[in-house]
A and B are shown apart, each in its own frame.
Chain A
Amino acid sequence: MPQISRGFHGRRSEGPSDRIPPGQHLVDDFPVLSAGPTPHTPLDEWTFTIQGGAEPASWTWDEFQALPSEEITTDIHCVTKWSKLDTVWKGVSLDTLLGLVDHDAGYLLAFCDGGYTTNLPLEHVTDGKAWIAYDYDGEALEPEHGGPARLLVPHLYFWKSAKWVRGFRLQDEDEPGFWESNGYHILGDPWLEQRYWGD
């Protein structure tokens, strides 16, 4: 039984409890968290690459825009404890991308401008669970929020939705990415409160 904090009542204007994972609170704005400067990659230099399949696959910005896209409305949960409901994105499903690559991998390691990486089991990014998003709220995704394109894996803590993503490498083994090597959980399920090493 946790200790009562004398005189603490809380605000608890906190929305539907079945949509707010433990330890999270709602925000209306969209906080930014990044480990370094914001990269600004011109669209004519941008490519998206999948390595580790039978053949490497790569798309230019225009080619990527021509892929079938979906609109996604979803809740997002940051490990720094804010959650935001009903965010609206547009992007390409990883089901679509992985369907274009011949492989038998179990994991991926996403890589990004700025040198950041994050790891994901493929079972957590297939069957409608993950996208490469390039629009947010009807507008082109801003650089501070990961534009031109970011991963969107909303059922995991939001650091898995890596900003400025440029591709991923398909792998047989789960290899910790940037935050996962710096104290954060290897998977990051907010409903299990898998925030840090040891959770």
Chain B
Amino acid sequence: MTGAVDETPRVRTLLLEADGWPGHRAGQHLDVRLTAEDGYQAERSYSIASAPGEPLAITIERLEDGEVSPYLVDEARDGDTFEVRGPIGGYFVWEDDGRPVFLVGGGSGVVPLMSMIRSSSESTPIRLLYSSRTLEDVIYRQELDARAGDRVEVFHTLTREQPPGWAGYARRIDAEMLREVAWPSAEQPHVFVCGSTRFVDVAADGLVALGYEPLSIRTERFGATGG
């Protein structure tokens, strides 16, 4: 571990230097294995946040009853070492072919989507619909603000609490929101949806109802446990 960035009170990005790392594709994850002094081991998977070719970074949300995530968010520090394995995954990955990309993220589900945004070419249109509980919980907020423009459009929804004068959405993701934000299905964008099970189901079902081909919607779900 070579560095860390506090993203929100519960979320931290770790910068890693991995000997022999073969490189990754946007959307892939890696496995972390921790070993206690008595040999006890725990393994979890985390999405890669960095673009291919950039210094390797993973972003981790601390789960209150988690075993590995509290260690990585609160305890690990520069110079620590732990085992990583990867990259892993051959389906929730994106190759930039210039076609528009629609990204739908809930909470820390934005992490693999950020890798895609960071690696996109200057001409690839991207829309991100990103659901967070509060403004404070928005991961990569400054970077998203800085990247947002004509090519990268960012739509936030804050489900629990909104600051005064909030101009974004203020409810859980729903079919109407998707209809307003998504490109028409006829434009055949790539679609990646990542978040909790319920979030992904609502988003994926909503996109199917809008006419998106089910096989064109790539999803990744995480449960309430696992960290």
Contacts and interface: CB of A to CB of B under 8 A. Distances in A.
A15 interface: no
Contacts of A25: 42, 67
A28 interface: yes
Main SS class of interface, A? loop
A178 to B, nearest CB: 8
Interface in A1-28: 2-12, 23, 25, 27-28
B21 interface: no
B214 A196 contact: no
Nearest to A114: B214
A10 B42 contact: yes
A108 B90 CA distance: 23
Nearest to A143: B201
Contacts of B225: 27-29, 31, 82
B101 to A, nearest CB: 16
B35 A2 contact: yes
Given A36-B215, A196-B88, A5 B226 contact: no
**Which of A4, A8, A29, A39: most chain B CB closer than 10 A?**
A8
Interface string B176-208: 000000000000000000000100010011011
A115 B215 contact: yes
Contact of B226 (A12, A31, A183): A31
A29 B197 CA distance: 12
A135 interface: no
A165 B41 CA distance: 35
Contacts of B167: none
Contacts of A8: 34-36, 42, 71, 75, 82
Given A36-B214, A38-B204, A5 B80 contact: yes
Contacts of B44: 81
6 contacts: A4-B36, A31-B222, A31-B224, A31-B226, A36-B204, A37-B201
A55 B44 CA distance: 46
Contacts of A144: 197, 201
Nearest to A39: B214
A3 B81 contact: yes
A11 B42 CA distance: 9
A5 B204 CA distance: 39
A12 B219 CA distance: 31
A27 B223 contact: yes
B33 A23 contact: yes
Nearest to A9: B36
B97 interface: no
Nearest to A116: B215
Contact of B91 (A10, A31, A35, A39): A35
B175 interface: no
B90 A183 contact: yes
Given A29-B225, A31-B223, 18 more contacts: A3-B81, A3-B82, A4-B35, A8-B36, A11-B42, A25-B42, A27-B223, A33-B221, A35-B92, A35-B218, A37-B208, A38-B205, A81-B44, A114-B215, A115-B215, A182-B89, A183-B89, A196-B88
Contacts of A6: 80
Interface in A117-145: 144
A192 to B, nearest CB: 15
